[in-house]
Amino acid sequence: MTATAHALIGGAIVASFSNPVIGIPLVAISHPIADLIPHWDFGLGWKKKSKLLLFLQSSADLIIGITLTFIIFGNSVDHLYLALAIFMSESWDFLHIPYLLFNWKFFPFYTFYKFGHLTNKQTTMPWGIITQAASVTGLTLFLRFIH
């Protein structure tokens, strides 16, 4: 999923679980679970992109995700808790970066890349964005409903 989707999922979780001992582990495990949903992201076709283009696209996605998450959830969640949730929601992908950009084929980078490769179910546009929007919206509404 895009970094934006992961950040928003993390924000929705911590907005519903005020206890970080519960919220942060839920955010951490949400990443590979969310990646099982067929989706599109900037990593699709990464081997055909320049490293600079991949870095710029991914960075823009991350900045948009952080900004939107703070706009939507920032008034209802402690900012430090929300920032930690965003970091944890993105951490699985952060651990891919040294492999993707520098070809570091050793632990933990290659291990997280291989695991992510197994759980990352990608599809093409526009369906890949539609599934993400539906997933993020559905999870947010569900968490608001139970909370």
What average pLDDT does the segment 36-63 reach? 88
pLDDT for 44: 78
Q: Choose the weakest-confidence range: 20-34, 69-83, 89-103, 127-141.
A: 89-103
Angle at 88 between CA 83 and CA 93, to 5 degrees: 120
Chain-centroid distance, C-alpha 63: 12
Using N-to-C axis directions, what is the helix angle for 79-94 and 51-73, rounded to 10°?
150
User: Which residue, among 14, 147, 34, 5, has the nearest Cα to 80 in the 3D structure?
Assistant: 14
User: Domain segments of the chain: what residues?
Assistant: 3-146
Segment 104-116 mean pLDDT: 93
User: Does the predicted TM-score (pTM) go above 0.85?
Assistant: yes
Specify the range with the lowest mean pLDDT, choosing from 4-13, 65-74, 111-120: 111-120
Pick from 40-54, 71-85, 108-122 the range whose average pLDDT is largest: 71-85
